[in-house]
Amino acid sequence: MAAYRIGVLKGDGIGPEVVPAAVDLADLSARAAGLSVEWVELPVGLEAYGQLGDTLPPQTVEALRGCHGWVLGPVEHHRYDPRLPSMRNPSGTLRRLFDLYANERPARNLPGVPSRYEGVDLVVVRENTEGFYADRNVLEGDAELLVTPDVVVSLRVVTRRACQRIAEYAFQLARRRARPGRVTAVHKANVLRRGDGLFLECCRSVASRYPDVAFDHVHVDAAAYFLVREPQRYDVLVTTNLFGDILSDQAAGLVGSLGVAPSLNAGDGYAMAQAVHGSAPDIAGRGVANPTAEILSVAMLFEWLGRRFDDPAATEAARRLEEAVGAALSAGVRTPDLGGSATTAEFARAVRAHLAPGSML
């Protein structure tokens, strides 16, 4: 590729602090790897609502169609009024509009980061477009029915197509990883017999086409138990939307903090880098947010671009960015969530020093 267009959506809360830090470092890494990137800043979230009357303006969506991928900061959608069509959750809406059906969330030990376990290197692959998510599984409305003031019925959608393709994504990922690959399907088919039963059936069907990748399955409650007891047993866990959201946060806690938990929302045509953590309004504006997760999320986006376009420069940019983050952490530069005292800017400068030796700190 001659050049990539990557959208930049800062989001709410700590987003305007961690996203610019991540983009600045990603741009430096890209240039060092010979990768040409045009970063396109676009309005989103509460700032966009204040200026344009929409948390996800139509011009932002249209501009994203001309991008190869984008970076989305955390959004404070709990503050949005769900009764207003102009206050959509940008994260869920973009996943649905661009069919970003796979949410890849790695959890691994990072150098210099205190954690309860060693040898953790797993990925939660979460189906991203349906399930118990009210903004993703019906054409209109929110899929939650207020039967009486005291009774709510929430609808879940599970389709064969979505189950098949998320299983395919998980097995392809397991095949790419350095260790002998293993996929574990996480479900509750003993209780949710039809929905999770269909999911498990699809995972078994896909597994039969990947004889080089080991396969097993486990109930979600047992998976949560074994994550706490022996997380090293897992490689790639593939699961439905809600289960994946919960288990990936749990896995982040095993390796230090949500502040080091990256993720990628990927489809066949687009991908969106988005850290696992939320907008953290309690620390917004204080300059102490950890940008690690956002930086590593952009590295995942570079990796995706490298695979999609067979571009070694994009892959190299991802490698450089990951190694620079690891070097900064190894040197003991840590933000308060990791027990350190570095500010967001100080951590970013430490990463920059490893990307561009000799640069000013």
Instruction: State which of 254, 275, 290 marks the end of a domain.
Output: 254
Is residue 249 among the annotated active site residues?
yes
Catalytic residue among 133, 169, 210, 270: 133
Is residue 10 among the annotated active site residues?
no
Is residue 235 among the annotated active site residues?
no
Structure tokens at 205: 């069907």
63 belongs to a structural domain: yes
Catalytic residue among 81, 221, 268, 310: 221
* Residues 356 and 271 grouped into a single domain: yes
CB-side exposure of 75: number of CA atoms within 13 Å? 25
| Main-chain dihedrals φ then ψ at residue 102, nearest 5 degrees | -115, 125
Alpha helices of the chain — where are they, by DSSP H? 15-32, 45-52, 58-65, 90-97, 160-176, 195-207, 220-229, 241-254, 292-308, 312-330, 344-355
- How far apart CA 29 and CA 305 sit, in angstroms, is 14
* Residues 249 and 322 grouped into a single domain: no
What domain range includes position 342?
1-106+257-361
Query: What three-state secondary structure class fits 51?
Result: helix
pTM strictly above 0.75:
yes
Instruction: State which of 254, 276, 306 marks the end of a domain.
Output: 254
Catalytic residue among 4, 80, 169, 188: 188
Domain count along the chain: 2
* Residues 35 and 77 grouped into a single domain: yes
185 belongs to a structural domain: yes
pLDDT at residue 181, rounded to an integer: 92
pLDDT at residue 360, rounded to an integer: 44
Catalytic residue among 24, 99, 135, 249: 249
131 belongs to a structural domain: yes
Per-residue pLDDT of the chain (361 residues; tens, 9 = 90+): 568 999 999 999 999 999 999 999 999 999 999 999 999 999 999 999 999 999 999 999 999 999 999 999 999 988 898 788 899 999 999 999 999 999 999 999 999 999 989 999 999 999 999 988 766 666 666 778 889 999 998 888 999 999 999 999 999 999 999 777 999 999 999 999 999 999 999 999 999 999 999 999 999 999 999 999 999 999 999 999 999 999 999 999 999 889 999 999 999 999 999 999 999 999 999 999 999 999 999 999 999 999 999 999 999 999 999 999 999 999 999 999 999 999 999 999 999 999 976 554 4
* Residues 61 and 84 grouped into a single domain: yes
pLDDT at residue 180, rounded to an integer: 73
State the SS3 of 59-73: HHHHHHHCCCEEEEC
- How far apart CA 314 and CA 299 sit, in angstroms, is 9
- How far apart CA 65 and CA 60 sit, in angstroms, is 9
Q: Which residues pair with residue 184 across a beta bridge?
A: 216, 237
Q: How far from the centroid of its chain's Cα atoms is residue 306's Cα? A: 18
CB-side exposure of 41: number of CA atoms within 13 Å? 9
pLDDT at residue 361, rounded to an integer: 42
**Running DSSP on this structure, what letter comes out for residue 179?**
S
* Residues 175 and 222 grouped into a single domain: yes
Contact criterion met (CB below 8 Å) for 127 and 101: yes
